[in-house]
Amino acid sequence: MNIDKDSNADVPESDYLTTLLRDPTASHMLETLIRRSPDRAFNILWRKYFVGKLSKLSVHPVANFVVAKAVERLDVEQLKSAVEEMHSIGGKIVSKCSCIFIAYIFQ
């Protein structure tokens, strides 16, 4: 498997990266990885760790900041999908004061 040649490569999910999303200290490292990774690598991270999980991650007290950094990198289609995914839980995000995700969408 070579992600340089195939950004649709099926990369197994890592428990370590999943832990980084929720760890108050290590999440900063994941934010940096998200900001600085090449587009192909970011797209794989987005599909593997965020798509289909935004409703849980966006209300998590730590992971919501990582989600916000990832949202900054989304292309138009990815952002559209993220907004559709989050539409059903918008009220829950606001009630839990996890507005970071919403703020980045409207930025």
Could you tell me if residue 26 is left (phi over 0), alpha (psi between -120 and 50 degrees) or otherwise beta?
alpha
Range with the largest mean pLDDT of 8-22, 40-54, 89-103: 40-54
pTM of the model: 0.76
Give the contacts of 58 (CB within 8 A, at least 6 positions apart).
64, 67, 86, 89, 93, 98, 101
Q: What is the pLDDT of residues 58-73, one digit of tens each?
A: 888 999 999 999 999 9
